[in-house]
């Protein structure tokens, strides 16, 4: 395969660290650098070399630079001799904190993207923000998810969070249950004309133009109420990882599936609302949507992680290796849920209307 074809696929090409190639010749840069990572100190002290690497990457058809912080984006932007057609992606630092130091109006010589996990935390942008939907430091691929976030979408997501928060005061476990319940009640798993593992996945009798492109988006899941695992996992992350709920949740990928890693009570667990929908013990017969709340894939561990036995998650949070082997006991989850019943209705509708075909089930 030609090198330039790599940029047109979902191959996970490894980013080269600038500090490791300071002695490279032009030929070595051309042959080995397809995606670059730079930290603030290294690029500040070697900016001329950085420009040389960048020019060779551009000639070679590559345009992605990963950085450690907005401070690095700002330094590169302020020192570029002219505008460059490059995308600088800030990598997720896996902290849950205010991001208002990220300001788009300060960047005018290049494009830059923030992790989707930052977007609820006060990123200052005008109308449209370029985002990275996957927290993966080697190349930050979007994997059929959001590449942009606009202010109207962000406001509508915040409105959902505020609506959920208005239900009452909840523990972290109850917040996770609340968000999972919201998505299970409202979202149908949708793929076009696919049968998987003998289970019916909602078919589209009259395919809609652009359906393949939109099913992975957060706005499709939250506002149109259907979608695939990418959109469901990213929606889960945004509804938890925000200033109102402050739950450390990220989207991760493994073996063609998206789900979440969540920090609870000092430990990391998996959370998979897609599987809570598609593997629910009670589901509508002709559409994958629960008839009732399913807790099986809330805060579970490696030993029940059936679909990623190799454990090579597309996320390099150093804590991911510490995911508990055993999850939170179902008894504990259901006990927390029962304590919410007087404030939150967990009643599910007796029928649904397929969001695309408008057929009642």
Q: List the CATH number of the domain containing 249.
A: 3.10.620
If asked whether residues 321 and 206 sit together in one domain, one would say: yes
Residue 283, phi then psi, degrees to nearest 5: -140, 160
If asked whether residues 189 and 137 sit together in one domain, one would say: no
Both tokens assigned to 245: 């709920």
Taking residues 326-342, report their average pLDDT: 93
Average pLDDT, the chain: 84
pLDDT band at 317 (very low <50, low <70, confident <90, very high): confident
Residue 143: predicted pLDDT: 55
Counting the structural domains of the chain, the total is 2
Taking residues 147-155, report their average pLDDT: 95
If asked whether residues 281 and 146 sit together in one domain, one would say: no
pTM of the model: 0.89
**150 in Cβ contact with 141 (< 8 Å):** no
Listed ranges 71-80, 255-264, 334-343; the one with the highest mean pLDDT: 71-80
Question: Which range has the worst mean pLDDT, 20-29, 152-161, 272-281, 312-321?
Answer: 312-321
- With the CA atoms of 214, 218, 221 and 223 taken in that order, what torsion angle do they form, in degrees rounded to the nearest 10? -100
pLDDT band at 141 (very low <50, low <70, confident <90, very high): very low
Burial class of residue 352, CB neighbours in 10 A (0-12, 13-18, 19+): buried
If asked whether residues 125 and 171 sit together in one domain, one would say: no
If asked whether residues 66 and 36 sit together in one domain, one would say: yes
Range of the domain at 294: 167-338
Q: Is residue 277 part of a domain?
A: yes
Coil, strand or helix at 40: helix
If asked whether residues 263 and 116 sit together in one domain, one would say: no
Q: How far, CA to CA in Å, does 122 sit from each of 97, 154, 261?
A: 9, 10, 22
Q: How far, CA to CA in Å, does 61 sit from each of 3, 57, 69, 77?
A: 9, 6, 25, 21
Residue reference for tokens 């008839």: 291
- Determine what percent of the chain is predicted with pLDDT higher than 70: 80
């Amino acid at each position: 395969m030609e090198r330039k074809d790599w940029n047109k696929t979902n191959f996970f090409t490894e980013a080269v660290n600038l500090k490791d190639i300071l002695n490279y010749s032009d030929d070595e840069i051309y042959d080995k650098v397809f995606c670059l990572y730079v930290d603030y100190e290294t690029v500040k002290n070697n900016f001329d070399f950085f420009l040389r690497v960048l020019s060779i990457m551009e000639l070679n058809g590559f345009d992605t630079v990963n950085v450690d912080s907005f401070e690095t984006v700002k330094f590169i932007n302020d020192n570029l001799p002219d505008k460059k057609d490059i995308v600088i992606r800030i990598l997720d630092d896996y902290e849950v904190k205010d991001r208002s130091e990220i300001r788009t109006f300060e960047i005018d010589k290049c494009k830059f993207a923030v992790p989707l996990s930052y977007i609820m935390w006060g990123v200052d942008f005008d109308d449209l923000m370029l985002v990275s939907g996957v927290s993966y430091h080697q190349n930050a691929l979007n994997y059929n998810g959001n590449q942009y976030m606009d202010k109207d979408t962000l406001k509508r997501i915040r409105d959902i969070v505020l609506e959920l928060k208005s239900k009452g005061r909840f523990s972290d476990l109850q917040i996770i249950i609340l968000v999972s319940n919201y998505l299970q009640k409202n979202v149908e798993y949708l793929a076009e004309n696919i049968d998987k593992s003998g289970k019916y996945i909602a078919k589209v009798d009259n395919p809609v133009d652009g359906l393949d492109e939109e099913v992975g988006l957060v706005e499709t899941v939250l506002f149109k109420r259907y979608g695939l695992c990418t959109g469901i996992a990213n929606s889960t992350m945004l509804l938890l990882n925000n200033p109102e709920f402050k739950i450390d949740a990220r989207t991760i990928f493994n073996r063609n599936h998206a789900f979440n890693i969540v920090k609870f009570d000092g430990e990391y667990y998996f959370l998979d609302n897609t599987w809570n929908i598609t593997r629910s013990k009670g589901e509508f017969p002709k559409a994958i949507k629960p008839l009732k709340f399913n807790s099986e894939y809330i805060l579970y561990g490696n030993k029940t992680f059936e679909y990623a036995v190799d454990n090579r998650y597309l996320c390099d949070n150093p804590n991911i290796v510490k995911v508990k082997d055993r999850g939170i006991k179902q008894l504990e989850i259901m006990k927390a849920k029962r304590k919410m019943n007087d404030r939150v209705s967990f009643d599910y509708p007796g029928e649904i209307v397929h969001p695309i075909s408008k057929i009642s089930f």
